[in-house]
Amino acid sequence: MVLGAILAGGQSRRFGSDKALAMLDGRPLIAHAVAALAAECASVVVCGRDWPGHTSLPDRPGPGLGPLAGLCAALHHARMTGHGAVLTSACDLPHLPSGLFQRLSPGPAIAAGQPTLGLWPASLADALEAHLLSGKRSLFSWVEACGARSVDCGPLPNINTPEDLAKLC
């Protein structure tokens, strides 16, 4: 069983406002990301913020540590709830390819060029927490440390700026 986890605790510095709530086709970006993962996963949690109708997980081991802290929270939650793996996506990836779980299996694996889009075995929870507690916060440092494969999943529109969002509209 795979748990979906939206990494949504970022500060949206490049976007200039809370991009998770930016509208695309009449819905906030985070709603698109939740729907995309729900199509692949038994259940979906939101990391780093509250989102109605879904379990919200605070970043672990604490706030302000970037997307790895959201992933760490999701891995610990997955392990506690009997999920074998976590499929992650950032809230700024509104469109995901179908069959993402199969494409990334077996984990650990990331979509090429999008390290927030990945499949992570729940057994990595303690290793990631130790990685974060050692002061390492870069997604790429974690990808390297855990030996995650990079998988070509095709073009994935990532929204970092209002201009990126305008291009998708």
Kindly report, residue by residue over 41-71, the tens digit of the pLDDT: 989 999 998 888 899 999 999 988 989 999 9
The second-level CATH assignment, the architecture, of 2-168 is: Alpha-Beta Complex (3.90)
Condensed to tens digits (0 to 9), the pLDDT of residues 64-107 reads 898 999 999 999 999 999 999 999 999 888 888 889 999 999 99
Over residues 120-142, the mean pLDDT reads 97
Domain spans of the chain? 2-168
pLDDT band, very low/low/confident/very high, at 15 (cuts 50, 70, 90): low
Find the range with the poorest average confidence among 15-19, 89-93, 110-114.
Answer: 15-19
**pTM for this entry:** 0.91
Long-range Cβ contact pairs of 79-85 (< 8 A, separation 24 or more): 79/122, 79/123, 79/125, 81/3, 82/1, 83/1, 83/2, 83/3, 83/42, 83/43, 83/122, 84/1, 84/2, 84/121, 84/122, 85/2, 85/3, 85/119, 85/120, 85/121, 85/122
**Of 9 and 87, the one with more pLDDT:** 87
Which pLDDT band, with edges at 50, 70 and 90, does 13 fall under?
Answer: low
